[in-house]
A and B are shown apart, each in its own frame.
Chain A
Amino acid sequence: MTDLYQAQRAMRRMRKQAMDRGVIAILDVGSSKIACLVLRFDGIRPVGGVEQIGALAGQSRFRVIGAATTRSRGVRFGEIHGMHEAERAIRTAVQAAQKMAQVRVDHVIASFSGAEPRSYGLDGQVELADSMATEADIARVLSACEMPDIGPGREVLHAQPVNFALDHRSGLVDPRGQTGNRLACDMHLLSVDAGAIQNLVQCVKRCDLELAGLASSAYAAGLSALVEDEQELGAACIDMGGGATGLSIFIKKHMIYADSVRMGGEHVTSDISKGLHVPISTAERIKTLHGGVVATGVDDREMIDLGGDSGDYERDTRRISRTELIGIMRPRVEEILEEVRTRLDVAGFDHLPSRQIVLTGAGSQIPGLDGLAARILGQQVRFGRPLRIQGLPQSATGPGFAASVGLCLFAAHPQDEWWDFDIPAERYPARSLKRAVRWFKENW
Chain B
Amino acid sequence: MCAVILPPRDPAPSRLTYRMQRLWLTPLFRLAVLRGLPLAAVLAIPALWFSDADRRAEVAGQIADIRRQVETRPEFMVKLMAIEGATDLVAEDIREVLPLDFPVSSFDLDLQQMRRTAEALDAVEAAELRVRPGGVLELKVVERVPAVVWRGAAGLELLDAQGNRVAPIETRSLRADLPLIAGEGAQRAVPEALALVAAAAPIEERLRGLVRVGERRWDVVLDRNQRILLPGQDAVAALERVIALDGVTDMLGRDIAVVDLRNPGRPTVRLAPDAVEEFRKIRRSGAGATNG
Contact = CB atoms under 8 A, between A and B. Distances in A.
Nearest to B10: A88
Contacts of B19: 208
Nearest to A99: B21
A89 B13 CA distance: 9
A102 B27 CA distance: 10
Interface in A68-86: 70
B13 A98 contact: no
B25 interface: yes
Nearest to B21: A95
A103 B12 CA distance: 19
B259 to A, nearest CB: 96
Given A89-B12, A92-B13, A311-B1, A104 B18 contact: no
Contacts of A70: 11
Contacts of B1: 311
A207 interface: yes
A91 interface: yes
Contacts of A3: none
B20 to A, nearest CB: 10
Interface residues of A, number: 16
Given A70-B11, A91-B13, A92-B12, A207 B18 contact: yes
A102 B3 CA distance: 41
A89 B11 CA distance: 8
A309 interface: yes
A95 B13 contact: yes
Given A91-B18, A311-B3, A102 B12 contact: no
Contacts of A98: 21-22, 25
Nearest to B24: A104
B26 interface: yes
Interface in B275-291: none
Q: Indicate the size class of the contact surface on chain B.
A: 10 to 19
Contacts of A94: 18
Nearest to A102: B25
A103 B11 contact: no
Given A309-B3, A311-B1, A311-B3, A208 B22 contact: yes
Given A309-B3, A311-B1, A104 B22 contact: yes
A27 B25 CA distance: 19
Contacts of B10: 88
B193 to A, nearest CB: 84
Interface string A206-248: 0110000000000000000000000000000000000000000
Interface in B16-62: 17-19, 21-22, 25-27
Nearest to A87: B12
A207 B21 CA distance: 12
A104 B25 CA distance: 5
B3 A103 contact: no
Contacts of B11: 70, 92
A94 B18 CA distance: 9
Given A95-B17, A208-B22, 7 more contacts: A88-B12, A92-B11, A92-B12, A95-B18, A98-B22, A98-B25, A309-B3
Interface of A: 70, 88-89, 91-92, 94-95, 98-99, 102-104, 207-208, 309, 311
22 contacts: A88-B10, A88-B12, A91-B12, A91-B13, A91-B15, A92-B11, A92-B12, A92-B13, A94-B18, A95-B18, A95-B21, A98-B22, A98-B25, A99-B21, A102-B25, A104-B22, A104-B25, A208-B18, A208-B19, A208-B22, A311-B1, A311-B3
